[in-house]
């Protein structure tokens, strides 16, 4: 299986390297990490059913986790690599008395803290650009998702000039990166190929507007 290396790979590694810088950077998006329309839309698209086990990869402060736990009788594993975000997320879970329905765990797209064949629905929202090895992430997803289970990976398309944050993101990345292209832009066709190679079927890649912003996404079934 091929791996995703090159300038985008290095840019994503640099983007995630410093915890202090990450805290400052994510602070700009605090309220979106807390709650956002796009996360609610993703939960609707993923459509977890009562009794299902759900994996929210890169859960942040729980924007999608709490939508899923609040709307559906599901068990959510919220996976987040950054300790300060996990601590806030755990406090939110405790405050809402959801400890029996939401488990917060450390992990990444390449290293998922879930048992083999244990997950009915998994998703990533604005997270896949942080994954340094898309092939390895696809392999992990096929491991943890049950036969017949589903995966939904979605990123807002900040490289689209119609996105409200296009100029903001362009300026930020031109200031801090040495690549000409947007370093968080993922080739979703390539991502779809990784999922197919890992063993997923019914892999659908598409671009459309959701919650008022341009997005790119891939949906797959094991």
What pTM did the predictor assign? 0.79
Helices (H), the chain: 7-16, 19-27, 30-34, 37-46, 63-71, 83-95, 134-144, 166-176, 188-198
Domains of the chain: 7-221 (3.40.50.150)
Return mean pLDDT, the chain.
82
Task: Determine which of 34-38, 133-137, 183-187 has the lowest per-residue pLDDT on average.
Answer: 183-187
Answer yes or no: is pLDDT of 32 > 70. Answer: no
Distance between CA atoms of residues 145 and 98, nearest Å: 23
- pLDDT tens sequence across 170-204: 666 555 544 444 445 689 999 999 999 999 999 99
Token duo for residue 184: 């968080």
């Amino acid at each position: 299986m091929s791996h995703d290396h090159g300038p985008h790979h290095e840019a994503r590694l640099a983007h995630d390297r410093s915890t202090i810088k990450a805290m400052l950077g994510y602070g700009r998006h605090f309220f979106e990490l807390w709650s956002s329309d796009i996360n609610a839309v993703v939960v609707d698209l993923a459509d977890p059913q009562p009794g299902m086990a759900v994996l929210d990869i890169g859960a942040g402060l729980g924007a999608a986790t709490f939508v899923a736990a609040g709307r559906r009788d599901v068990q959510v594993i919220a996976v987040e690599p950054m300790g300060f975000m996990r601590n806030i997320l755990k406090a939110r879970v405790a405050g809402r008395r959801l400890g029996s329905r939401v488990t917060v765990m450390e992990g990444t797209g390449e290293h998922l803290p879930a048992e083999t064949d244990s997950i009915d629905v998994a998703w990533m929202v604005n997270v896949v650009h942080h994954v340094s090895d898309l092939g390895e992430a696809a392999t992990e997803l096929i491991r943890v998702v049950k036969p017949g289970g589903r995966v939904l990976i979605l990123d807002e398309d900040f490289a689209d000039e119609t996105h409200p944050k296009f100029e903001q993101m362009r300026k930020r990345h031109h200031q801090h990166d040495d690549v000409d292209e947007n370093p968080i832009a993922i080739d979703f066709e390539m991502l779809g190929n990784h999922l197919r190679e890992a063993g997923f079927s019914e892999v659908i890649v598409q671009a459309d507007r959701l919650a008022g912003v341009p997005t790119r996404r891939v949906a797959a079934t094991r």
